Amino acid sequence: MYKLMHKHDLILTISTEGTVTVHRPDKLPFDLRHTMVVGYEQWLNWLKRRFTTVSRTYMNKLYIQRRVGRSNDAIISDSAGISPVDLFWVTRPDLNHTWESLQIMRDAKMSTAMVSLTGELDKSYNIFAEKPEDHISIFTTKGAFPKAIYLQHLLKKGDNAEYEVSAYKLGYELGINVAKSEVVENDIIACELFTTEKKSLVHALELIYPFGENSSDNVHRDAYKLFSKQPEILRDLEKLFIFNYIITNNDLHEENFGFLYCPETFEILSASPAFDFNSAFEVWPSTSIYYQWIYDNLNTFINNNHELVPNLRQVEQFLSTDIYLSEEQKKSIVDRANYVLSLADKQIV
């Protein structure tokens, strides 16, 4: 039998026969709220999405070091499916997990983080030890590029990870909410987590369309429509879209933007800070539907956020100190910023 927990609350149980019993419908994960009845299939789909990282190549050595098989049971036994973005976790009656016990040594060993970052085993680690003493949330962390969670930071190395720093610094100057990132030792990029026990993250796809079922081709448009009556969240989204247009982020898919919510009430508080820029700063724009939709609506977005205009006029100056982007990439950013400014100037006239 499985138990889905949310911090101290029992949310649902799954019997050995596959019967799902919901105890707290008010605290179900967002992507389990789109169905009239939560059944065993919906539960398995949720669990699969929870552990989406299990198939990533960069996780191979971590499985070896922790002696964890690539199965839901093995991962649940190891770290209960804890996540850096929310308070859900999974357990079974034969395990002694509690919320408090899972916080002990949580994402607290740099040596563990380096295994998933580098793909190299920690030679000082005793693989014959009875059980790893730390609990890790990397099993639930999304994304194709190598990463790790260490304390309150997401770590990246290689694969244009330095673009996180470029995006943060430019976003800060422009007045855009971007996840704070900095370079630490050994060229590792540390991105500060923006989730806490008082703020959780739900990705756009999970909020709007569970598992891609009945989804349209443009979650970005549908998210924008969803919050049409909430101007503060709408302005957050518009700034996010403007910024990602300017930096040509071709990877702004439905799991690379989301919303912060209160874990007590599950009320959406705001759009999340912009994050994940490994594939940003392309010179040529994406041909994806969502990028075209953003382009087609830039006039509306900048009209609603005219306070960005003075800073957009200084983009070239802001980029002058960047050490990671090429001159061609910088020119592309300036060109796109100027296009947004041309839309803003037309409205003034």
DSSP string covering 182-209, please?
EE-GGG-EEEEP--BTTBEEEEHHHHHS
CATH code (residue 319): 1.10.1070.20
Q: Are residues 208 and 344 in the same domain?
A: yes
Q: What is the pLDDT of residue 1?
A: 86
> Is residue 194 included in any domain, yes or no?
no
3-state secondary structure 259-276: EEECCCCCCEEEECCECC
Q: Are residues 207 and 143 in the same domain?
A: no
Is residue 266 within 8 Å of residue 232, measured between CB atoms?
A: no
Q: Are residues 139 and 224 in the same domain?
A: no
Residues in the chain: 349
Which pLDDT tens digit goes with each residue over 195-252? 999 999 999 988 886 544 555 568 899 999 999 999 999 999 999 999 999 999 988 8
Distance between CA atoms of residues 128 and 123, nearest Å? 12
Q: Are residues 341 and 232 in the same domain?
A: yes
The domain containing residue 266 runs over which residues?
Answer: 200-348
Contacts for 223 with CB less than 8 Å, ≥ 6 apart = 204, 207, 208, 237, 257
Q: What is the pLDDT of residue 103?
A: 92
> Is residue 173 included in any domain, yes or no?
no
> Is residue 336 included in any domain, yes or no?
yes
Contacts for 267 with CB less than 8 Å, ≥ 6 apart = 261
Q: Are residues 138 and 272 in the same domain?
A: no
Contacts for 244 with CB less than 8 Å, ≥ 6 apart = 252, 274, 280, 294
Q: Considering 87, 117, 151, which residue would you say is the last residue of a domain?
A: 151
> Is residue 182 included in any domain, yes or no?
no
Q: Are residues 249 and 333 in the same domain?
A: yes
**DSSP designation for 315:** H
Q: Are residues 210 and 330 in the same domain?
A: yes
- Of the two residues 175 and 206, the one the predictor is more confident about is 175
Overall domain count for the chain? 2
Q: Are residues 12 and 129 in the same domain?
A: yes
CA distance to 95, 147, 149, 211, 327, per residue, from 254 (Å): 34, 19, 22, 11, 30
Q: Are residues 128 and 230 in the same domain?
A: no
Distance between CA atoms of residues 2 and 93, nearest Å? 7
Which pLDDT tens digit goes with each residue over 254-304? 889 999 999 999 999 999 999 999 999 998 877 777 888 999 999 999 999
Is residue 113 within 8 Å of residue 54, measured between CB atoms?
A: no
Q: Which of the four pLDDT bands, split at 50, 70 and 90, describes residue 322? A: very high
> Is residue 156 included in any domain, yes or no?
no
Burial group, residue 299, by CB count within 10 angstroms (0-12, 13-18, 19+) = middle
Distance between CA atoms of residues 106 and 192, nearest Å? 16
Query: The tokens of 92 are what?
Result: 């079974």
Concatenated DSSP letters of 127-160 = TTSSS-SSB--GGG---SS-EEEETTEEEE-STT
Across the range 40-48, mean pLDDT stands at 89
Q: Considering 151, 181, 214, which residue would you say is the last residue of a domain?
A: 151
Amino acid (1-letter code) at residue 291: Y
Query: The tokens of 149 are what?
Result: 């969670």
Q: Are residues 111 and 216 in the same domain?
A: no
Q: Are residues 235 and 105 in the same domain?
A: no
H helix or E strand, kind and range, residue 165: helix 163-174
> Is residue 87 included in any domain, yes or no?
yes
> Is residue 325 included in any domain, yes or no?
yes
> Which of helix, strand or coil describes residue 43?
helix
Mean pLDDT of the chain: 89
> Is residue 94 included in any domain, yes or no?
yes
Which residue in the block uniquely carries the two structure tokens 């169905």? 35
Which residue in the block uniquely carries the two structure tokens 């949330």? 137
Burial group, residue 92, by CB count within 10 angstroms (0-12, 13-18, 19+) = middle
* 14-28, 55-69, 134-148, 251-265: segment of lowest average pLDDT: 55-69
Q: Are residues 139 and 217 in the same domain?
A: no
Is residue 343 within 8 Å of residue 298, measured between CB atoms?
A: yes
Distance between CA atoms of residues 348 and 303, nearest Å? 9
Amino acid (1-letter code) at residue 204: A
β-strand partners of 292: none
